């Protein structure tokens, strides 16, 4: 069975005001004292902005173990942040106004000099899911076949309706901000792994990108691990949603690999249509129509979600994930994703600070 690992970016916020605080260095120092941060094999590391913290799980085959580790690191991050008067929130953008502070590392300074305001405004938090593949050839075959389905994952995970103290009218405004990077978004079909790697080399050779780590495709081959890395999602508000996302991504990868081995060609949708489907997912989330991954026509969000679930159902069943995934999906469709929960909290309390407080509480909840 394929292993799965998750990387999550969290927002550091003031425990009283709810405003983002540039305390990542202090929180990382606390984590390092417990052997959890800074080193190559440790869970926590700095992100682009000093108001952020990232953690990565170990590769897991059992979803129950992955779920436990996600909760473990979220709660550890909260514990370390508490020592410096902060909290952690799984928010893909800050509901409250913020003045982002870029990190002090050489790479971060280069990004700020090269990309200016685009870098300064990238205080966004995503969730990346790694799924193991047997080879780069299998990985590229998977990338070709999961392209139409990624927009549905974005809609499910959408958790960034607010930007600089205002409702953006998007469910995932993070996806719009992230799309400002010149290498971000969906990509075309690749003939094989050699063609994929040649494009990466050509992109870096332009001088616009520092290295292949800046190839910010919605899904890509990892430069460091034998995995397909799906990067399209907002960081999920609750651990339960992150686990569902991991289940669905593993199901997509396994389904795509089976199609490749069976000689089934990928859908030849042009990048322009994939990009429009992604925009619609960021705008609508689960609240309106999405673009069908099968037809590239508008359908109710529930129809698009159910088509994804049925598409990966055999893989979910073979992995023993089907019942748990169905239960988690039913809960999200009933109670809402992060974007809906944030907006409902604002409607109930009239306070963006209370929105942050509610999200802090949910960030470290049980799965």
Of 246 and 37, more confident: 246
Of 258 and 32, more confident: 258
Identify the weakest region by mean pLDDT among 101-115, 304-318, 349-363.
101-115
Express each pLDDT in 308-340 by its tens digit. 999 999 999 999 999 999 999 999 999 999 999
- Distance between CA atoms of residues 83 and 99, nearest Å: 23
- pLDDT for 90 equals 98
- List Cβ neighbours of 151 (8 Å cut-off, separation of 6 or more): 232, 274, 277, 278, 280, 281, 290, 291, 293
- pLDDT for 32 equals 87
Express each pLDDT in 81-96 by its tens digit. 999 999 999 999 999 9
- Distance between CA atoms of residues 6 and 231, nearest Å: 10
Express each pLDDT in 4-40 by its tens digit. 999 999 999 999 999 999 999 999 998 888 776 544 4
For the chain, the domains span 4-363
Mean pLDDT of 185-214: 97
- pLDDT for 9 equals 98
- Distance between CA atoms of residues 338 and 288, nearest Å: 15
- List Cβ neighbours of 194 (8 Å cut-off, separation of 6 or more): none
- List Cβ neighbours of 271 (8 Å cut-off, separation of 6 or more): 186, 187, 188
Share of the chain above pLDDT 90, in %: 94
- pLDDT for 104 equals 86
291: which DSSP letter?
Answer: E
- Distance between CA atoms of residues 74 and 300, nearest Å: 33
Mean pLDDT of 233-258: 98
For residue 320, count other CB atoms closer than 10 A to its CB.
11
- Distance between CA atoms of residues 312 and 322, nearest Å: 9
**Closest to 146 (Cα-Cα) out of 248, 247, 298:** 248
- List Cβ neighbours of 273 (8 Å cut-off, separation of 6 or more): 291, 296
- pLDDT for 207 equals 97
- Answer yes or no: is pLDDT of 232 > 90: yes
Cβ-contact 286, 158 below 8 angstroms: yes
Cβ-contact 233, 50 below 8 angstroms: no
Mean pLDDT of 264-270: 97
- Distance between CA atoms of residues 185 and 260, nearest Å: 23
**Closest to 176 (Cα-Cα) out of 126, 242, 111, 248:** 126
- List Cβ neighbours of 61 (8 Å cut-off, separation of 6 or more): 1, 2, 3, 4
- pLDDT for 229 equals 98
The mean of the pLDDT values for the chain is: 96
- pLDDT for 36 equals 63
Q: What is the second-level CATH architecture of the domain 4-363? A: 2-Layer Sandwich (3.30)
Share of the chain above pLDDT 70, in %: 98
- pLDDT for 33 equals 85
- Answer yes or no: is pLDDT of 42 > 80: no
Cβ-contact 243, 183 below 8 angstroms: no
Mean pLDDT of 242-254: 98
- List Cβ neighbours of 327 (8 Å cut-off, separation of 6 or more): none
- pLDDT for 37 equals 54
> Which tokens go with 48?
């682009």
- Distance between CA atoms of residues 319 and 240, nearest Å: 18
């Amino acid at each position: 069975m394929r292993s799965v690992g998750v990387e999550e970016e969290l927002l550091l916020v003031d425990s009283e005001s709810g405003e983002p605080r540039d305390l990542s260095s202090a929180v990382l120092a606390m984590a390092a004292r417990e052997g959890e941060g800074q080193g190559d094999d440790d869970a926590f590391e700095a992100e682009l902005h000093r108001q952020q913290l990232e953690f990565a799980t170990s590769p897991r085959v059992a979803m129950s173990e992955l779920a436990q580790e996600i909760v473990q690191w979220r709660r550890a991050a909260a514990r370390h942040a508490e020592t410096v008067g902060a909290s952690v929130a799984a928010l893909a953008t800050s509901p409250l106004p913020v003045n982002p502070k870029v990190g002090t590392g050489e790479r971060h300074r280069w990004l700020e000099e090269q990309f200016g305001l685009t870098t300064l405004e990238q205080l966004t938090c995503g969730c990346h899911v790694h799924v193991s593949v047997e080879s780069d050839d299998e990985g590229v075959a998977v990338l070709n076949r999961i392209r139409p389905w990624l927009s549905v994952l974005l809609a499910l995970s959408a958790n960034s309706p607010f930007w600089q103290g205002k409702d953006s009218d998007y469910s995932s405004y993070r996806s719009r901000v992230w799309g400002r990077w010149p290498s971000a978004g969906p990509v075309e079909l690749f003939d094989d792994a050699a063609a994929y790697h040649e494009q990466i080399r050509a992109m870096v050779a332009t001088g616009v990108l520092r290295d292949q780590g800046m190839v910010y495709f919605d899904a890509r081959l990892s430069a460091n691990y034998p995995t397909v890395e799906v990067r399209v999602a907002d960081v999920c508000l609750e651990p339960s949603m992150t686990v569902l996302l991991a289940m669905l991504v593993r199901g997509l990868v396994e389904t795509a690999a089976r199609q490749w081995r069976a000689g089934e060609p990928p859908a030849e949708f042009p990048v322009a249509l994939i990009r429009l489907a992604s925009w619609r997912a960021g705008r609508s989330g689960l609240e309106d129509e999405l673009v069908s991954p099968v037809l590239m026509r508008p359908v109710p969000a529930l129809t698009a979600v159910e088509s994804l679930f049925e598409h990966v159902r055999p893989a979910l069943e073979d992995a023993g994930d089907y019942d748990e995934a169905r239960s988690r999906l039913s809960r999200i469709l009933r109670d809402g994703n992060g974007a809906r929960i944030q907006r409902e909290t604002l409607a109930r309390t009239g306070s963006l600070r209370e929105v942050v407080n509610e999200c802090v509480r949910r960030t470290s909840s049980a799965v």
